[in-house]
Amino acid sequence: MKQTTRTTVRFAVFFPFFLSSPSDGFLTSRHETFTHPSKPSFLDSRFYSSHRRHHVLQNPDVATTGEHKENDNLWWKNISFEHSDVATLTRPDFEIIIKTKIGEEVPKPLVYLDSAATSHTPKQVIEDIADYYETMNSNVHRGAHTLSRMATTAFEEGRDTVASFVNAYSRNEIIFTSGATEAINLVASSFGRSTLKEGDEVVLTEMEHHSNIVPWQMIAQETGAVLKFVKIDFEKGGLDLEHMKTLLTEKTKLVGFQHVSNVMGCINPVQDMVTMIRQKSPNAKILLDACQSVPHMKVDVQELGVDFLAASGHKMCGPTGIGFLWGREDLLNSMPPYMGGGEMIDQVTLEGSTYAQAPARFEAGTPPIAQAVGLASAIRYLEKIGMDKVEAYEHEIASYMYKRMSQVKKVTVLGPPEGVERAALCAFYVDGVHPSDLGTFLDIEGVAVRAGHHCCQPLHQAKGISHSARASLYIYNTKEEVDYFVDQLEKTIQFFTGLETQIDGASGGDDGFVPFI
């Protein structure tokens, strides 16, 4: 009997505050005591008409009076709905999903399953960003003129909105960055460079995104610090916490880990891990990568008990180019600036400079103003739905997708087994089929998934695979889309299985033969 060799087929298919007075009615300090905003920002274009926009321009003090209109254009705002209705209610707000067709000869509706990389943006957020540019575009913290004061108010209201969303102790604890990558690099460059010395230890995990590994490797090379990595228990689909316990010592100065893995989909037990770290390494600071949790569940920094938290806007219905770092205020003010320039200073002379307190200390230069407006708008959008409903809906649809995918032959889904709560994503691999080929064929049928290592090469190396594909869900995805995806996945696997059989039969054992298609 002829013995054949398995072949994996690869081919390509073709105002400044120093001028303000208490009577101005505008923010008199970037460091004022934080109070949770009880009303929506005046910037949400869905809260006011074009007449109101004209009124604000003619009477800029209205911008801070709290005179807001209700969101008349969110048709579902006053109705009672269950979490199962989330996608039905929100899909009309995402025009890219409704309008986009994939393919030229037979266009297919878009089934977007790549929100773990970047989520889509509702039209309300897009309109708020456009409204900022059309009615108040100016630099912030620098001008006494009307537009600058309006832009400053809008920008700082954005900080308040983010602070409220994660339940910060103070608005001064929110640092706007270009994204979560910059937020983590800020901690590594400022805290790490000023604190770590030779022999100190930083504990990370094998499942970390590269943005929470590479910066620490760079700082370790500079300082002589030692990096340790918590192993993954692939059978349980999460971190090996017993192994983590053995890594924590008095030399541990920082522990960094994901709240939710962008590959495994596991939800790490943050509070239990914090308790362990505080007991074993009481002097260590804790950095939480919350990119895959903040958009999908209620995240409360006070409850979690961490010291730093990083997140990005483009994964939570917001614009690209903005993220934020939350850090304990006393800790932030003890850290040196990592970048110099305007706005982050107290006094500058030719002999030297003194620096502002947080948040200004870490926001050198012109900040991402329009992006902060958009991020705040995205948060308001999610809060109108209710993060409890977002989480409940995603848990339901994630369980459904995992169950469907687990029934497909040759498919291995990474992460927790059935019955264990997981995030709304499934990374997977198929025996004999490269993830890039899966992604290409699924795209032909209108399905957008991620293929590659998802910026987690060490995780894949620990598993013994080079790549995987990933389907990730958000508030606008439906069970019908999951069914369509799984059906197309099965057809794709069948195609490659049949092709593999033909190759094995025709090659005469020549493993180098790949047909031209």
SS3 of the chain: helix, strand, coil, percent, to 5:
40, 15, 40
Q: How far apart are CA 372 and CA 367, in angstroms?
A: 9
Q: How far apart are CA 259 and CA 291, in angstroms?
A: 8
Identity (one letter) of the amino acid at 266?
C
Please count the helices (runs of H) and the strands (runs of E) in the chain.
Answer: 17, 19
**pLDDT at res. 287:** 99
> Annotated catalytic sites, by residue?
455
Three-state helix/strand/coil letters over 310-333: EEECCCCCCCCCCEEEEECHHHHH
User: Which tokens sit at 418?
Assistant: 């059935």
Residue that is written with structure tokens 């010395």 in the block: 197
**pLDDT at res. 503:** 54
Largest CA distance in the chain: 93
DSSP 231: P
Residue that is written with structure tokens 């705002």 in the block: 77
Residue 379 near residue 312, CB atoms below 8 Å: no
In degrees, rounded to 5, the angle at the alpha carbon of residue 459 between the alpha carbons of residues 457 and 461 is: 70
Q: How far apart are CA 174 and CA 163, in angstroms?
A: 6
**pLDDT at res. 500:** 58
467, with CB counted inside 10 A (0-12, 13-18, 19+), is middle
Q: Which of 174, 196, 160 is nearest to 41 (CA)?
A: 160
Residue 239 near residue 232, CB atoms below 8 Å: yes
Q: How far apart are CA 285 and CA 280, in angstroms?
A: 12
**pLDDT at res. 74:** 58
Residue 291 near residue 316, CB atoms below 8 Å: no
**DSSP calls for 33-94:** PP----S--TT-GGGS-HHHHHHHHH-GGGGGTT-----TT-TTTTS---GGGHHHHHGGG-
| Distances from the Cα of 369 to the Cα of 139, 366, 376, angstroms | 8, 8, 11
**Residues present in the chain in total:** 517
pLDDT along the chain (517 residues), means of 10: 41 35 34 39 33 33 35 54 87 96 91 99 98 97 92 97 98 98 98 98 99 99 98 98 98 99 98 99 99 99 99 99 99 96 93 95 96 98 97 97 97 96 97 95 98 97 97 98 98 85 51 32
**pLDDT at res. 46:** 35
